[in-house]
Structure 1
Amino acid sequence: MATDYQAEIQSLRKTFQKISSVTDPEALRARISDLTEQSAAPDLWDDQEKAQAVTSKLSHAQSELDRLERMETAIDDLGALKDMADEEAASDPETARELYADIDGELANVAAALSELEIRTLLSGKYDERDAVVTIRSGAGGVDAADFAHTLQRMYLRWAERRGYSAKVLDTSYAEEAGIKSTTFEISAPYAYGTLSVEAGTHRLVRISPFDNQGRRQTSFAAVEVIPLIEQTDHIEVPEADIRVDVFRSSGPGGQSVNTTDSAVRITHVPTGIVVSMQDEKSQIQNRAAAMRVLQSRLLLLKQEEEAREKKELAGDIKASWGDQMRSYVLQPYQMVKDLRTGYEAGNPDAVFDGDIDGFIDAGIRWRATGEKAGSQE
């Protein structure tokens, strides 16, 4: 049956239009313009953390826009190639066949790229754009579980490497015999958290244990935790409207006044109720500045505690034992990796362990989006 190239190209164009309506190229261009203006500020690098954040956001936004524009151009080129092949069909059938063969190849490439772009439109959570921090812990299964945890670490690092993402191991606790007890690493890329968050859960491995001298089959578990990288700051802005400042005379032992002027300062942070008093400095201005520094430090600590609680909620409670697994890696008696939530499976575990997990991730993102929509309609 002959391929209806016109219908195929039209279908791709409709899919692109849906993606474009969600990603909004005009909004992206406006954002790029704003970030470009910020990046050109002469004092930008006075605050290195802010400068890095601005340049990173600009790079990510420009990359997103470039991908959209390349995709639109690729679809337009397919249409032009199809018209050219149609023109050659009557006068030069051989050239037409070659052109149609080129169209077949490009249709597959564009469809795959569109599928990846479509997945990105499903990542609309609060933290989905952030970098990801992944922690893997060995679970039930002894030395096999520790070895499995190490294998999973390599799998995710290889996945990041294959995609050109930056990965940095932050901490690793090695097991005594082989493998690791736990590891934490950071993946830096646009939407790293949204993409990898579907990997969180209990992973199960079934194989002939290389650590069992009787060659018995062993089932082991590892827990994967994925949290967004919370943007830290070493300074907390405190609006004047949020504080109440009282001045009084400094006092010494026994309540005696040690200063005849109202130089001591008490600052109350109204939203939180935090109170800071300072009277060690000689002037009211110095005491106020010192009190503000202490207040900012306490507010930063409070913010970090809130972020830690939020991270814990996002990470969830992962058991790494029987009955909780979300994915099984079976090497014996047959070879298959299967996600128990989505039903997606692959018959080559070696390729999966070498970082070929995009199929599982894409299926997970689609599954999660479908589940969320279904749940919102109840």
Structure 2
Amino acid sequence: MAVVDVSEELKSLSSTMGSIEAVLDLDKMRADVAVLEEQAAAPSLWDDPESAQKVTSRLSYLQGQVRRAEQLRSRVDDLEVLFELAEAEDDEDARAEAESELTDVRKAVEELEVRTLLSGEYDSREAVVNIRAEAGGVDAADFAEKLQRMYLRWAERHGYKTELYETSYAEEAGIKSTTFSVQVPYAYGTLSVEQGTHRLVRISPFDNQGRRQTSFAGVEVLPVVEKTDHIEIDESELRVDVYRSSGPGGQGVNTTDSAVRLTHIPTGIVVSCQNERSQIQNKATAMNVLQAKLLERRRQEEQAKMDALKGDGGNSWGNQMRSYVLHPYQMVKDLRTEFEVGNPTAVLDGDIDGFLEAGIRWRKQQEK
């Protein structure tokens, strides 16, 4: 790489990093960290476990973001020194090392830049993810379970806390549906681009004739409701059913009727929770998920009104959004962004950051 080209790229990277730092507002982040550290050190912090969890989670997230930005700025600034030393010593190994670091830093800056694109009303919220098997019988149920694992593995790779609320197992294999939360700031903004229908094409392991099968699973991503959202639910509009929690194959995981299913009569929305041992806890969690669904419904209605005013025919979000092809070739492709990879195994093991980044950038383009 020519010295002039390197110099221009380093200037561009430094400028991009400056823009990112301005949007992130690192000074405010540091001030927020100081306040949260004070709160976390208070002896009475855990008198209110729910509040304590929010304080420690927010503190950990902000500390990580500040550290990530500071370390990346340091790497950007150090690049110039690396190239200068390589040129001064006319050392090919040092030059190759500097170019490798430049490639890594460029990728890290692009990833951090995506974070600055999450500026929607609810983007900073934690997320509730619901996955359901659709057309395709047992293959669809198996696919739904693969998607559940994919998102949980993605969260695990990043160190994000998750909580499983409910899983309804299919009779032969896989799951009918599942609901879980990803408890980190900006989880909703990040994962909301995953909403839609996912399609799997493969030789069915459940077909004794070895035929190719296409199956579908739906992904719904909701923002976690906060106290300021004013989502009121009239108890008279709810039907509450209790039942016994069960695991795969109908094995009892609880000997009491602690699982709760809520039906919101005006909208027909149904949510379930069986994760907790207590019926009261399960009902509280189910209410939170129901509120999240009603909040998302309200957001979509408001968006539809805006789209109508802008003359948007509703084409900005297609329902079928990604294909996972395992046969006759190997590929995962996003149908909106055209982003694709040739390693479905890695994707289904949680390596989806490329899809998330492409989806977030695509969404931002649609908003212009």
Partners of 2:223 and 2:292 within 8 A in 1:
no
Partners of 1:225 and 1:315 within 8 A in 2:
no
Residue number in structure 2 paired with 1:325: 320
Residue number in structure 2 paired with 1:340: 335
Deviations 1:53-83 (A, max 9, x none): 2222222222111111111111111122222
Residue number in structure 2 paired with 1:101: 96
Partners of 2:322 and 2:335 within 8 A in 1:
yes
In structure 2, what residue type is equivalent to 1:2? A
Deviations 1:179-220 (A, max 9, x none): 110111222223211111100100011122221222222111
Residue 225 of structure 1: how far off its partner (Å): 0.7
Q: Which is greater in Rg?
A: 1
CA-based RMSD of the aligned residues comes to 2.5
Residue 48 of structure 1: how far off its partner (Å): 2.5
Residue number in structure 2 paired with 1:160: 155
Assess, with a 3 A threshold, how the Cα gap between structure 1 residues 183 and 121 changes in structure 2: closer, same or farther.
same
Residue number in structure 1 paired with 2:87: 86
Assess, with a 3 A threshold, how the Cα gap between structure 1 residues 164 and 138 changes in structure 2: closer, same or farther.
same
Measured in 1, the distance between the counterparts of 2:47 and 2:366 equals: 46
Residue number in structure 2 paired with 1:49: 50
Residue 304 of structure 1: how far off its partner (Å): 9.1
Assess, with a 3 A threshold, how the Cα gap between structure 1 residues 87 and 164 changes in structure 2: closer, same or farther.
same
Assess, with a 3 A threshold, how the Cα gap between structure 1 residues 362 and 40 changes in structure 2: closer, same or farther.
same
Please tell me whether residue 60 in structure 1 is matched to residue 61 in structure 2: yes
In structure 2, what residue type is equivalent to 1:136? I
Measured in 2, the distance between the counterparts of 1:32 and 1:314 equals: 30
Percent identical pairs in the alignment equals 59
Residue number in structure 2 paired with 1:2: 2
Partners of 2:222 and 2:292 within 8 A in 1:
no
Say which SS state the counterpart of residue 129 (structure 1) adopts.
coil
Partners of 1:227 and 1:315 within 8 A in 2:
no
Measured in 2, the distance between the counterparts of 1:220 and 1:307 equals: 28
1:258-277, aligned counterparts within 5 Å?
none
Deviations 1:25-52 (A, max 9, x none): 1121222222233334443333222222
Measured in 1, the distance between the counterparts of 2:172 and 2:292 equals: 36
Residue 315 of structure 1: how far off its partner (Å): 7.7
Residue 346 of structure 1: how far off its partner (Å): 1.2
Residue number in structure 2 paired with 1:311: 296
Tell me how many residue pairs correspond in the alignment.
294
Residue 166 of structure 1: how far off its partner (Å): 2.0
Partners of 2:321 and 2:336 within 8 A in 1:
yes
Assess, with a 3 A threshold, how the Cα gap between structure 1 residues 38 and 165 changes in structure 2: closer, same or farther.
closer
Partners of 1:339 and 1:345 within 8 A in 2:
yes
Partners of 1:139 and 1:223 within 8 A in 2:
yes
Residue 306 of structure 1: how far off its partner (Å): 5.9
Assess, with a 3 A threshold, how the Cα gap between structure 1 residues 218 and 308 changes in structure 2: closer, same or farther.
closer
TM (norm. structure 1) is 0.72
Measured in 2, the distance between the counterparts of 1:232 and 1:161 equals: 28
In structure 2, what residue type is equivalent to 1:206? V
Residue 305 of structure 1: how far off its partner (Å): 7.4
1:1-378, aligned counterparts within 5 Å?
2=2, 4-88=5-89, 93=90, 96-231=91-226, 308-313=293-298, 324-372=319-367, 374=368
Residue 307 of structure 1: how far off its partner (Å): 5.1
Unmatched 5+ stretches in structure 1: 234-301, 317-322
In structure 1, what residue type is equivalent to 2:58? K
Say which SS state the counterpart of residue 210 (structure 1) adopts.
coil
In structure 1, what residue type is equivalent to 2:78? D
Say which SS state the counterpart of residue 359 (structure 1) adopts.
helix
Residue 230 of structure 1: how far off its partner (Å): 2.2
In structure 2, what residue type is equivalent to 1:68? A
Partners of 2:120 and 2:189 within 8 A in 1:
yes
Residue number in structure 2 paired with 1:251: none
Residue 229 of structure 1: how far off its partner (Å): 2.3
